[in-house]
């Protein structure tokens, strides 16, 4: 007996950079190249979001290893909390970027 697996795309989401509202990095427009010089808070290495971030960066010929990652967190809520505490700029899916104390850059 052969089992078949079906995969259905449920949606699409973009990866965005977030900063603490009113903080050091807020109100600025950054290019992907600018990420190299900024302190970044990202999801942990084996998360789906982290894999999506790596794919996005590869499309722009960048590598996550070349970035200034200051924290790796367990999930997007933890990334957002670290950003709100001033740890740096977070990279999360747009759908998760809904905290009123942060802004999308």
CATH of the domain at 98: 3.40.190.10
Q: What is the pLDDT of residue 88?
A: 96
Listing from the earlier edge strand, what are the strands of the sheet with 102-104?
68-73, 39-43, 89-93, 15-20, 102-104
> pLDDT by residue (tens digit) across 40-51?
999 999 898 999
- Model pLDDT, residue 85: 96
Residue 1's pLDDT is 63
Identify whether 10 is part of a domain: no
Number of domains making up the chain:
1
CA 65 – CA 69 distance, rounded (Å): 8
Question: Does residue 2 belong to any structural domain of this protein?
Answer: no
Angle at 50 between CA 35 and CA 21, to 5 degrees: 50
Stretches in the chain below the pLDDT threshold 50: none
Do the domain assignments include residue 45? yes
Q: What is the pTM for the complete model shown? A: 0.84
């Amino acid at each position: 007996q052969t089992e078949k697996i079906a995969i259905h795309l449920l949606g699409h989401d973009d990866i965005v950079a977030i900063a603490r509202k009113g903080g050091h990095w807020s109100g600025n427009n950054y290019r992907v190249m600018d990420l190299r010089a900024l302190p970044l808070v990202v999801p942990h290495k084996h998360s789906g979001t982290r894999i999506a971030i790596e794919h996005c960066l590869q499309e722009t010929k960048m590598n996550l290893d070349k970035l200034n990652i200051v924290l790796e967190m367990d999930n997007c809520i933890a990334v957002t909390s670290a950003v709100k505490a001033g740890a740096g700029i977070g990279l999360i899916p747009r759908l998760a970027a809904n905290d009123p104390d942060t802004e999308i850059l």
